[in-house]
Amino acid sequence: MIKIEDLHKSFNGVAVLKGVNLEVENGELLALIGRSGYGKSVLLKHVAGLLRPDRGRILVDDQDMCRLRGRELTRVRNRLGFLFQSGALFDSMTILDNVAFPLREKTRLSEQEIRKKVMVELEQVGLLGSEEKYPSQISGGMVKRASLARALVEEPEIMLIDEPTTGLDPLTGHTILNLIDGCHKRLRFSGIVVTHEVPKIFEIVNKVVMLHEGRVVFIGTPEEILSSEDETVQAFIAAGAEWLTHDAACYPPMLQRRKKDIHAL
């Protein structure tokens, strides 16, 4: 569904992406991890067609995003859902109107049909009863859930999710990731999640890609990255696992099997 080939991007002479190659298969959810400032969000914006590379190709369902213009680009973008790091809700709109916005802009559905679809998505993210509130009247976690509902209300084929847990406490962040997992299982979209939530993210994705200094240093399954002997990968996983206690009950099921390996890093 998504194929990135030899992607290069620089800003003001500083190279951010240095020949990135990766693929997301149809229906696959991929985690894009790595330290801050190493190009994860930049890569996501290329897939969405918000940035153009200095060199390389971004194929979405075999269509080169670098070559599309006008209506053709809009047609592909309409197949994408984008969950921004900040949530990007309109402060002057209620939660209902925020989630309804893309349907009102892009479809000819009646207001009754729009409201029905919006309420279904709000129920999926646990926000029924908050539809008439404004973003300033709800918590940060609720803002992220409303933003997720807005991104999913058109039932996109592809989801691009940028740091969905930024600014949230660990428990709320894990709730957001669980919601993303549930939505992926329900809609079967192909997706990329940029996140620092290691190792929690490994519970919900099919594949993990790690960027380091603008290059891919690891591609594989969650199980494979946990057993990787690469020192860069080990250091990142170890840092992300610091929240784990020595109580085995606190570990997600998959990580209980890897507990000794994580603490050995």
Q: Which amino acid is at 34?
A: G
Indicate if the alpha-carbon torsion angle 231, 232, 236, 239 is positive or negative: positive
pLDDT of residue 241: 56
CA distance 214 to 7: 10
d(CA 31, CA 51): 20
DSSP bridge pairs for 3: 23, 59
Query: What's the pLDDT score for residue 246?
Result: 37
pLDDT in tens, the chain (265 residues): 899 999 999 999 999 999 999 999 999 999 999 988 889 999 999 998 889 999 999 999 888 988 888 888 888 888 999 998 888 899 999 999 999 999 999 999 999 999 999 999 999 999 999 999 999 999 999 999 999 999 999 999 999 999 999 888 888 999 999 999 999 999 999 999 999 888 899 999 999 999 999 999 999 999 999 999 999 998 888 886 554 433 334 444 444 444 444 344 3
- Can you give the pLDDT at residue 253? 47
Strand locations in the chain, DSSP E? Answer: 2-11, 14-24, 29-33, 55-60, 63-64, 80-83, 158-162, 190-194, 207-212, 215-220
**202 is written with which tokens?**
């490994």
* Identity at 203, one-letter amino acid code: E
Q: Is the CA virtual torsion 37, 40, 45, 49 positive or negative?
A: positive
pLDDT score for 151: 94
The pLDDT score that the predictor gives to residue 187 is: 92
**Residue carrying structure tokens 């891919």:** 216
Q: What is the pLDDT of residue 242?
A: 54
Taking phi over 0 as left and psi of -120 to 50 as alpha, with beta for the rest, 188 belongs to: left
Q: Which of 179, 175, 239, 245 is nearest to 210 (CA)?
A: 239
In whole angstroms, give the CA distance from residue 257 to residue 265: 15
Q: 2-79+156-264 adopts what CATH topology?
A: Rossmann fold (3.40.50)
Q: Return the C-alpha torsion angle 25, 31, 35, 37, nearest 10.
A: 60
Q: Are strands 190-194 and 207-212 parallel, antiparallel or unpaired?
A: unpaired
Nearest to 43 by CA among 82, 72, 86, 4: 4
Q: Is 252 helix (H, G, I), strand (E, B) or coil?
A: coil
Q: Which two tokens stand for residue 166?
A: 């930024």
Domain boundaries, the chain: 2-79+156-264
Q: What is the structure's pLDDT at 111?
A: 96
Tell me the pTM.
0.85
Structural Rg of the chain based on CA atoms: 19
Nearest to 142 by CA among 154, 155, 129: 129
